[in-house]
Structure 1
Amino acid sequence: MLEELIRFTAEDADAGQTVREVLQKRFGVSRRLLIRAKFKGLITRNGQHVFVNEILQPGDEIAVMVREDEEESVAPEEMPLAIRYEDDDLMVIAKPAGLVVHPTGNHAGGTLANGVIAYWQKRGEHRRFRAVNRLDKDTSGLLIVAKNQWAHEQFSRMQQERTLHRTYQAIAEGDVQPDEGTIDAPIGLAEGSFITRQVRPDGQSAVTHFRVLARGCGMSLVELVLGTGRTHQIRVHLSSLGHPLAGDDLYGGSRELIGRQALHAHRLSFVHPRSGAAMEITEPLPADMSTLAQKFFG
């Protein structure tokens, strides 16, 4: 099956450039992806096969398609999806707490990936599930799914260049001080564990920026922006300061008031990889965290 990655009409500024030059400079197509398109796909101009070293003329219609190396193995399972944005390149979904993103040994089905594949198939679209940012099972909020390999590459580049901005809201135990700051502390696996992380000198670099939005009765509502994307980063960093998230019993929090870690992916901001438009999408706190916030912060 061929998957369309790029389709564009050559503009006056593209005249005299090769197909390769425009794809790489204007659309950021990687050399690896271009090779796949040449040998495991199809590149056409005005519906006819074209070589990447051919010169473009204004008005030329270029399409780039690739053949998937592997078929999608995730089984479709219909489920409600809270889709906040969708176009030909990406989807932004508000994931509820308790939903696993991708099938694992412990969760072979009933995941977000199963639901997205079912949604696409119902619309006659055959795509692979490519999550851009991963959220823990019990973390709620916004998640990006790339709808083609080119888009996934562009978001990977944004993550490396730190131009994909992810903002979280969390309810932490205790009075987090100061009002704002940066936690710069490396994170690695805890001794004897394959799951739990901890701050440790030989860990991977991890940076979290925080701002306290409200305090009350021994709890703090905190906004956090990731400078890096380590597993359990926010949970580990706040716990290391003596302020575990409410409900996060893995890292010292109490489940007395909420049955999962009180962590929510609140906002995503990025430049759309195709249109160049500035995108910002926000998602309010879900009911369980909203109820807890009202109890402590009014």
Structure 2
Amino acid sequence: MQTMKKEGEWLVASLTAADAATPIGNLLREGWKLPRKQVHLLFQHKEVFIDGQPVPQHAKVEEGQEIRLRLCQPEPFGIEPVEEPLDVLYEDDHLLIVEKQAGILLHPTEPHHHLTLDHLVAGHFFRTGQQAKVRHVHRLDQDTSGVVLYAKHPWASAVLDEMLRERLIKRTYVAFVHGQVTKESGKINQPIGKDRNHATRRRVTPNGDTAITHYTVREKYRSATKVECSLETGRTHQIRVHLSYIGHPLIGDTLYGGKRDGISRQALHAEVLQFTHPFGNETVEVHADLPADLVELEKRLR
């Protein structure tokens, strides 16, 4: 199929020669990675149309035919919108990528949390006339800054979740750590689990979940190092736990052995998000520059 476009509550695409003679149900499941259960419900509720007519999932398709899926029906935001500004880095009919500032929660965890990134996204949807549920695809810690991906409709959410599980979404972080990291690059493959002696802390433990972090040294200073990290897994506090485990806790990360050194949070920033667009096949690569506090830290370290 060609690039999917949104028209109101419909997703619309023209079928190509590669799709010819393929049962439409197979095309949705295998070509467009739609979960089997959702495909079944779409056909059960007659929400799949070819050339203006509802079709069964075994119907064969031909080049040039138009497919329409009713997948973008108006939804409540699911969270109260707020008027605070939002740093939008990329947006189309299917995705929203924003920059999170350090200190703000990504989503509410207590009833009194009324100003999180999810609230800001709801405010953006409200201001721009979009009736979409707020769906973040991945998370960042409260004191981590950087790029966050949102899905604008259920199909986008399902496909992006699967891409994240299959490690098809590349996330690159920048961290400033204590001490000079001797190896120029490395792989930390250590399982992470909860610390039974602390409510929020995690630790490396043999019975934990598989966790793999890759790192590369970008710059060395007299008593610190700037490293680039990429994740194969997405465990809570993964980079913080792993770098502390190898003896290089993040500057400012007092929970895992770091010292303040003039910064009020862990020196960690989600710099780059890169993936192939699930509804167009072009490469999406979004960068978020270092925020002011980390720029100042870098100047001091130099």
Task: Give your verdict on TM over 0.5.
Answer: yes
1:243 aligned partner: 248
| 1:233–1:5 Cα change, 3 Å | farther
Q: CA deviation at 1:65?
A: 1.8
The partner residue of 1:266 within 263, 271, 291 is: 271
Residue 37, structure 1, aligned to residue 42, structure 2 = yes
| 1:67–1:163 Cα change, 3 Å | closer
Q: CA deviation at 1:159?
A: 1.8
Give the distance between the partners of 1:74 and 1:148, measured in 2 at CA. Answer: 15
| 1:41–1:128 Cα change, 3 Å | farther
Give the distance between the partners of 2:268 and 2:98, measured in 1 at CA. Answer: 16
| 1:40–1:112 Cα change, 3 Å | farther
Residue 57, structure 1, aligned to residue 62, structure 2 = yes
Alignment: residue pair count: 296
Q: CA deviation at 1:194?
A: 2.9
The partner residue of 2:79 within 74, 84, 87 is: 74
Q: CA deviation at 1:136?
A: 0.5
1:27 aligned partner: 32
Residue 162, structure 1, aligned to residue 160, structure 2 = no
2:128 aligned partner: 123
1:1-298 to structure 2, matched below 5 A, reads 4=9, 6-39=11-44, 42-66=47-71, 71-105=76-110, 108-297=113-302
The one-letter code matched in structure 2 to 1:182 is K
| 1:206–1:251 Cα change, 3 Å | same
| 1:77–1:59 Cα change, 3 Å | same
Q: CA deviation at 1:44?
A: 2.0
Structure 2 gaps of 5+ residues are: 1-6
| 1:50–1:122 Cα change, 3 Å | farther
Q: CA deviation at 1:163?
A: 1.7
2:3 aligned partner: none
Give the distance between the partners of 1:5 and 1:163, measured in 2 at CA. Answer: 26
- Aligned to 1:169, the other structure's residue is in SS state strand
| RMSD over equivalenced CA pairs, Å | 2.2
TM-score after normalising by structure 1: 0.92
TM-score after normalising by structure 2: 0.91
| 1:128–1:166 Cα change, 3 Å | same
Q: Deviations over 1:88-142 (max 9, x none)?
A: 1111111111111112116521011111112112222111111112001110001
| 1:15–1:215 Cα change, 3 Å | closer
The one-letter code matched in structure 2 to 1:139 is T
| 1:5–1:244 Cα change, 3 Å | farther
Give the distance between the partners of 1:12 and 1:202, measured in 2 at CA. Answer: 50
Q: CA deviation at 1:183?
A: 1.1
| 1:14–1:227 Cα change, 3 Å | closer
Give the distance between the partners of 2:131 and 2:138, measured in 1 at CA. Answer: 21
Q: CA deviation at 1:3?
A: 8.1
Give the distance between the partners of 2:255 and 2:46, measured in 1 at CA. Answer: 47
Q: CA deviation at 1:61?
A: 1.9
- Aligned to 2:70, the other structure's residue is in SS state strand
Q: Deviations over 1:24-71 (max 9, x none)?
A: 232121212112323457222233333222232333221112487985
Structure 1 gaps of 5+ residues are: none
- Aligned to 1:265, the other structure's residue is in SS state strand
Give the distance between the partners of 2:245 and 2:227, measured in 1 at CA. Answer: 15
- Indicate conservation of the 8 Å contact 1:5/1:148, yes or no: no
| 1:3–1:226 Cα change, 3 Å | farther
